[in-house]
Amino acid sequence: MAADCIFCKIATGEIPSEMVHEDERCVVFRDINPQAPTHLLVIPRAHIVGMAHLDAADLELLGHLLVVAGEVAEAEGLAESGYRTVINWGPDSGMEVPHLHLHVLGGRRMTWPPG
Ligand code: 5GP
Ligand code: ZN
């Protein structure tokens, strides 16, 4: 846990959120500023800053985050209509919160390429 990290505090419940999934390794909650009818954030409980901070020790955790993303998307009724998963990293991506998170966006038709 990083002392000043918003997402670490959401994971512990110190900052309230609309939580849709919790397990020992990750939590999933609704984005406070949704960019689609369904916009979830899947985060590890462990404070990992982002893509540039991953290594082979994180393989199992990363697989878990993806599997959970698929499960919560299905629970939201998105399995057939589809959805987008996004992980931002660094200034060019527009990343705002330096705690690894996977966006799950669905419920509307997405455009490509992203803006
Ligand atoms: P990023 O741009 O870093 O990939 O995405 C960060 C996301 O976190 C944004 O979509 C933003 O709306 C969301 N966010 C930032 N602060 C909070 C918060 O306190 N609560 C929730 N639920 N979402 C947040
Ligand atoms: Zn954190």
Statement: residue 2 has pLDDT above 90: no
CATH class for the region spanning 6-106 = alpha beta
How many secondary structure helices (H) and strands (E) does the chain include?
2, 5
The CB of 17 under 6 Å from ligand 1? The reply is yes
Domain ranges of the chain: 6-106
The pLDDT tens digits for 10-55 are 999 999 999 999 999 999 999 999 999 999 999 999 999 999 999 9
For residues 5 and 41, is the Cβ–Cβ distance under 8 A?
no
Tokens of 48: 């990992």
- Positions marked active-site: 101
Could you tell which of 96, 101, 105 is best to mutate to test the pocket of ligand 1, judged by most ligand atoms within 8 Å of the CB?
96
Q: Is the pTM of this model over 0.85?
A: yes
The pLDDT tens digits for 90-115 are 999 999 999 999 999 999 999 999 98
Burial class (CB in 10 A: 0-12, 13-18, 19+), 26: buried
